[in-house]
Chains A and B, each alone.
Chain A
């Protein structure tokens, strides 16, 4: 089968935005890919697919599935057909994310200090007070440059009319950036000409930008601040990413047991004795960071870390307590935050969100359950979700019961049909629903977003 036939046979689902094809023809931005792949046949494509798998395997870009006490290495499924985002689309996404992050950083500063936004009745105090991720322990801590969110992995989705919506902000420890970078490298290997001829913008300076930001946060004024990446260890599913980033930035990859706190300063244990640490890029969740303050049974953290943080002797990235802005009920207020802090209209829209503790909205949702997706407010990444169009009657009843029992804990959103991209599956091009996660970096010099993102199949 030739590549051209593959394209001919590609079905477009009605009422869903396809990234490659509108109802009649292939979109302008996909012409180059179409041309290149038309010259190949199915066998060539499958060879490329195989090559990609081998590249991931040999580099250890894998995650481990445990069964019968034996770890089995799996690679992440990777599709060889690139996803195209045009410069115009990107411009829109970029300015939208910058605006949003600016407001979110101001919000976090406000909520952990003066709480003006509550006093001005923009956000109800009860909403914040009941948020499990609102962290009282960090109230009043001054963070360098007032930056709380240094790294955000904002999830965008695209509706049937082609509009991008923000789905989640992911302001805590977003992962996946290494896959964005490595996928690009693998694409270069399997379609060398295609990338070179298409004016694709570069993303591989991400680690350098991040490193610059991390160094600039050092509380000690020294020439070479000690920056470390704190990982939960080799059993963490994102461990590959931790090593990847540490290597790309030339910083130490440490585990909790490598660090200790003495006299409110953080040190790492080296063969030459103790060495002071200035900046910690942590990939450990808040609640595991310091057993003296948060979960006492955590072996992943460093006892006393919070005391050093409070004292300003160490910078932690991302800041603690960001979860309050990731709360799905608080998410609904981000457009209001943008108006309140920046006096601007939001550039990128939220998905419309109904607060379940608000009776009118709740009734509306209950009346249209089959068109709604119900989500727990403190979950992310698809956990704690009920899809109205696919759940059974019993499941919907169950969901209603749970909502009534604790309305603050739930929100509902109208189901948006995610856009599709072509994927090479079983020897055919098939449409699959996707999202888009670009990675934004906030530093003292502003917000930068490398022009790319991780496209994940829903």
Chain B
């Protein structure tokens, strides 16, 4: 596989995964914004903190206006991490590798691109159609995942796509978790209302799982346990890294080039720091340093992967 193609497939999926995470958090926040008496006192703050580079003061101003937030995060091209920009980048990556992805996958990325570029979209976000639009976009993102899964041949391209997806997913969960736990000072013992945690869990599609698995006591602990270590929860750090590990192994086995042992070791260290840890250990180092360390090592890994497999310029 051409290095350029591998690079594009990796980033296509990173961007699409980011778009997916963004949309889910937005939907949760948007629905919450209707409850005027908010137990938690947070609505748009997490989304703005995670997906924009605005200063705390700017966030304070913007978050008062639902439409403005939606427009800024979804369709504003001045925001370099807006959905429109991300989807455009995803599509550029897909366009450059059209011969390596199936026609169905390309058409789906293209479809999403045309949805987000619809001329009347920004305007509609101010009306009652906003939720319809978010739903349509989420639907389209879901379809992308499904179509990719059901049409893409397994092999090199598939491995790079999925590695990208799970690296991004892990990073998103780190960010979400960090922002939501910051409000409670990263404290496991302090008891927070389930209504507060519901927005985090809904944004990660893990609310139902939480209700099934956890007692009604000690929510902070249970939530942390689920998003960090639950191996059946598809957005936990544990699960994401486990999947990434599989695809990385497939890649290194079929492309045994120079420099792969440091790469495998770096990922192995990161993987074990989550896999062989537990809440008690995390509490010792502190949740925030732990999350920051995971983020740092993931970014380093991603850069190293680029150097070894994608450097073609």
Contact = CB atoms under 8 A, between A and B. Distances in A.
Interface of A: 57-60, 70, 73, 233-234, 239, 243, 246-247, 251-255, 257-258, 268-273
Contact of A271 (B103, B117, B156): B156
A272 B96 contact: no
Nearest to A253: B99
Given A59-B107, A234-B92, A269 B312 contact: yes
Given A60-B110, A247-B103, A258 B95 contact: no
B98 A247 contact: yes
Contacts of A254: 2
A340 to B, nearest CB: 42
B150 interface: no
Which of A60, A252, A258, A273 has the most CB atoms of chain B within a 10 A radius of its CB? A60
A interface majority secondary structure: mixed
Contacts, number: 69
B99 A273 contact: no
Contacts of A268: 2
Which of B4, B92, B103, B313 has the most CB atoms of chain A within a 10 A radius of its CB? B4
26 contacts: A58-B110, A58-B111, A59-B103, A60-B98, A60-B107, A73-B117, A243-B95, A243-B98, A246-B98, A246-B99, A247-B99, A251-B99, A253-B97, A253-B100, A257-B312, A257-B313, A258-B3, A258-B312, A269-B312, A270-B3, A271-B1, A271-B257, A271-B309, A272-B1, A272-B255, A272-B257
Range of interface residues on B (Cβ < 8 Å): 20 to 34
B285 interface: no
B265 interface: no
Given A57-B114, A60-B106, A234 B95 contact: yes
Contacts of A57: 114
B6 interface: yes
Interface of B: 1-4, 6, 77, 92, 95-100, 103, 106-107, 110-111, 114, 117, 156, 251, 254-257, 309, 312-313
Given A234-B96, A246-B99, A273 B110 contact: no
Contacts of B313: 257
Which of A251, A253, A258 has the most CB atoms of chain B within a 10 A radius of its CB? A253
A239 B103 CA distance: 15
Contacts of B95: 60, 234, 239, 243
A271 B255 CA distance: 6
Contacts of B256: 272
Contact of A272 (B103, B117, B254): B254
Nearest to A273: B257
Which of A57, A255, A269 has the most CB atoms of chain B within a 10 A radius of its CB? A269
